[in-house]
Structure 1
């Protein structure tokens, strides 16, 4: 584990964008893998892969979203958050860090979260080649429940992450915690997908 972390830090210094893209894609894929393997009864559409009820294309969609969308937006976003500093007394470093962490977390949860959540469902719908009406329905059904769940999970973690973790490692910290969160997103997206299949049955051949 130590050697893996050392390699990650080295790659982060030499090629940060590619390293973050690969790591983020891997962790989003891991979340979907956990969702499909450990919560099979909660799945919607299932596709046989090597004789198993495992949809490899669904996992690849998670990898694509993580690598090509979230990693680059997340990298820029955390650099923006790192620039937020509130006025404070230089004698009280911990107080200053705490105030900055609260401000950054507030911006993250009140600005990014309401935008990032529908972005996920929109991109996944595009990758699933879903009709426009189906995509709209997915956003309407999932935006508010997912945002409420987000506010129950992320603020406490982000207070620590945004205040005391070096900015170059903040996305990694988010991604590691996100394995459980990505599992939740994958499960919710698949259940929504199953309901939409009832509303929009395949066209008969």
Structure 2
């Protein structure tokens, strides 16, 4: 593991965008693979390579760029008390969970819907159906991890440490994105309309 961390550190210094893009995209892809193999609703359904590719594209080209900039912003700009480590860490976690998460979740569902070739109306519906439940689940997972991440991990490795935990988070997101809510009401025509 130490060799990998050394390679990653050298790689992130040499070409940060490429390294973050490859790592983040790969880990989004792994999360999707886990979701498809381990949590498929329909055991007869074949593995969807295009779905994994979409996850890799989202992770590589969207989340890696936004996530890297976000963690640098938090580290540089969110300072409530200079020199007070824990006060600043708590403020950063608060900003992450109260500002980034509520926006990042609809970004994921919206982008994935568009990458699936669906309309903006479908993307809006997917966000509407999944935003709140995903945000609440997010609050069960991320605040405690981010407290450790922001207090123990150097800023240039934070996106990587988030990506490691995100393998499981991405599997959850991929699963949520792939299913329709069970309680979604179907339209009823009354009186019946002949087709």
Q: TM-score range by the shorter chain?
A: 0.7 to 0.9
Change (3 A) 1:41 1:11: same
Residue 139 of structure 2, aligned match among 151, 156, 159:
151
1 CA distance for matches of 2:161 and 2:114? Answer: 28
Superposed CA RMSD in Å reads 2.2
CA-to-aligned-CA distance 1:180-201 (integer Å, 9 cap, x gap): 10000000000039999x99xx
Q: Report the Cα offset of residue 135 of structure 1.
A: 1.6
Contact 2:110-2:127 at 8 Å conserved across structures = yes
CA-to-aligned-CA distance 1:7-30 (integer Å, 9 cap, x gap): 211111111110000000000000
The answer to whether 1:133 aligns with 2:121 is yes
Contact 1:21-1:71 at 8 Å conserved across structures = yes
Change (3 A) 1:97 1:132: same
Within 5 A, what are the aligned runs for 1:18-167?
18-41=18-41, 46=45, 53-83=46-76, 84-87=78-81, 96-167=84-155
**What is residue 193 of structure 2 aligned with on the other side?**
none
Q: For structure 2, list consecutive stretches of 5 or more residues without a partner in the other structure.
A: 188-195
Runs of 4+ aligned structure 1 residues displaced above 3 Å come to: 193-196
**What is residue 172 of structure 1 aligned with on the other side?**
160
Q: Report the Cα offset of residue 136 of structure 1.
A: 1.6
1 CA distance for matches of 2:38 and 2:60? Answer: 24
Q: TM-score, normalised on structure 1?
A: 0.84
2 CA distance for matches of 1:67 and 1:138? Answer: 22
2 CA distance for matches of 1:29 and 1:192? Answer: 21
CA-to-aligned-CA distance 1:22-74 (integer Å, 9 cap, x gap): 0000000000000111122368x94xxxxxx1000000000000000000000
Q: Report the Cα offset of residue 137 of structure 1.
A: 1.2
Q: After alignment, is 128-137 or 29-38 more displaced? A: 128-137
